[in-house]
Amino acid sequence: MLAKGSEPWLFTAVSITALFAILSRAINSSHLNHVAYMAMALTFFMVLFFRDPERKVEVSDTYMVSPADGTVIDIRDRKICIFMFLQNVHVNRAPISGKIREITYKKGGYLPAFCKDSERNERNEFIIHSKYGDVSVMQIAGTIARRIVSYSRVDDNIEQGQRIGMIRLGSRVDVTIPNNF
């Protein structure tokens, strides 16, 4: 399965690959042939990046699931920071069932997402009201990522593991757990 909204990106990559492949054959140019192979590699990367595998999540209110694939790079108090590398799936999911109470998008820069300065980066925060209190899921764009996409809206009832958004081309997700959990 591919991520929602990936079609224009993949269509562009496939079109560029096809164009260079046709031109390299028509002109019989080894240079264009190399460009076609590079475009093919880019297309493969785009398919890999925009993949969105199904996840089986046993819904439970006794634990939370990670909102993102990646590596935990920091834990402070009740906040967990997860850095997504390029090879990770970049679709983000609800860590707990509840109702989206608030979504706040802020424009910002594109500093490396693992740096403390990334607090000034583009971000999108979901506040999910659960039976334990509010859970914050913050999507933070990084150096390569230039677009945060939200799949959910305020007042949506969401289930644990449900897709809530995506950060195109990577970055970081912070989740803040309520005191009652």
For the stretch 124-175, pLDDT in tens is 999 999 999 999 999 998 776 668 999 999 999 999 999 999 998 768 999 9
How many structural domains is the chain composed of?
A: 2
CA dist., res. 149 & res. 143, Å (int): 16
Question: How high is the pLDDT of residue 90?
Answer: 92
> Shortest CA distance to 132 belongs to which of 96, 163, 159, 100?
96
Position 132 in a domain = yes
Q: Are residues 172 and 108 in the same domain?
A: yes
This prediction has a pTM of 0.85
Instruction: Please give the pLDDT value at position 11.
Output: 93
HSE value, Cβ hemisphere, 13 Å, CA-based, for 72: 8
**Is residue 112 situated within a structural domain?**
yes
- Read off the pLDDT band of 115 (50, 70, 90): low
Inside any domain, residue 113: yes
Do residue 35 and residue 108 come from a single domain?
no
Copy the structure tokens of residue 157: 């009832």
The residues near 26 (Cβ < 8 Å, ≥ 6 apart) are none
Predicted pLDDT of residue 170: 67
Which amino acid type is present at position 175? V
Q: Say yes or no: 22 and 98 in one domain.
A: no
Contact 21, 34 (CB under 8 A): no
Query: What's the CATH code of the domain at 109?
Result: 2.70.70
Please check whether residue 135 lies inside any domain of the structure: yes
Domain hosting residue 93, numbered range: 71-176
Q: What is the pLDDT of residue 136?
A: 98
Which of 117, 109, 95 minimizes the C-alpha distance to 178?
95
Amino acid at 38: M
Active site residues: 171
How many Cα atoms sit within 13 Å of 34 on the Cβ side? Answer: 3
Same structural domain, 81 and 156? yes
Instruction: Give, as one character, the DSSP assignment of residue 119.
Output: G
Same-domain status, 17 and 89: no
Report pLDDT digits (tens) over 61-85. 899 999 999 999 999 999 999 999 8
Integer Cα distance of 166 and 77 in angstroms: 25
Do 75 and 124 fall within a single domain?
yes
- pLDDT number for residue 112: 66
pLDDT at 108 over 90: no
